[in-house]
Amino acid sequence: MSEQTKVFEEKMEKSLNNLKSNLLGIRAGRANTHVLDKVMVEAYGTQMPLNQVANISVPEARVIAVQPFDVSQIKAIERGINSADIGINPNSDGKVIRLVFPELDEERRKSLSKDVKKLGEECKVAVRNIRRDAMETVKKLEKKGDITEDDRKNLETEIQKFTDKKIEAVDKAVEAKNKEIMSI
């Protein structure tokens, strides 16, 4: 990989990582602690991520247990979970908050699958836009006389190769998430 194309490949990698983190946040019928990654809790006068004020575990396949480090924070944690709008109501016994994931019906699975495909398409568009920017940059370098025509062709080939790899990685991530959603 040449220096001219490294920046663009890093941008594509960031887009792919963003897609993967978004896919982790989509619940697929079984408990996944990543749905709580974006939950913020008002604790000690400041907003803090949930994982800094509580221990998060998965004791059963469809249950997440949230155990606060400080029991006095349990109401604040419940408010944080409710305001994060993850689609699950927290159940508290005063010491531990339990989030029970219901089984997904067929209609909900199909809806989630469409959402996953949409996220995948958005990521592909971002990758293709980065490729376009990279190609334009290479052409400008040739016009300035910084690189030769052969260098431009080689760089364009290189850009296309890593673009294809990223698009393939997006397809694999989307396919894996859809398989997870559709499995009962």
Tens digit of each residue's pLDDT, the chain (184 residues): 467 788 898 999 999 999 988 887 776 666 777 778 888 888 888 888 888 888 888 888 788 899 998 888 888 888 888 888 777 788 888 889 898 877 777 888 888 889 899 999 999 999 999 999 999 999 998 898 888 889 889 999 999 999 999 999 999 999 988 888 887 5
Split into its structural domains, the chain has a count of 2
Whether residue 166 is found in the same domain as residue 115 = yes
Whether residue 128 is found in the same domain as residue 162 = yes
Q: Residue 17: is it exposed, middle or buried by C-beta count within 10 angstroms (0-12/13-18/19+)?
A: exposed
Domain edge (last residue) among 100, 118, 144: 100
How far apart (Å, rounded) are the C-alpha atoms in residues 57 and 79? 19
The residue range of the domain holding 168 is 3-25+105-182
Whether residue 144 is found in the same domain as residue 178 = yes
Note whether 23 and 119 are within 8 A (CB): yes
Q: pTM here?
A: 0.69
Q: What pLDDT does residue 87 have? A: 74
CATH assignment of the domain containing 68: 3.30.1360.40
Domain edge (last residue) among 100, 134, 153: 100
CATH assignment of the domain containing 169: 1.10.132.20
Whether residue 16 is found in the same domain as residue 61 = no
Whether residue 21 is found in the same domain as residue 109 = yes
Whether residue 123 is found in the same domain as residue 68 = no
> Tens of pLDDT along 66-104?
999 888 888 888 888 888 877 778 888 888 989 887 777
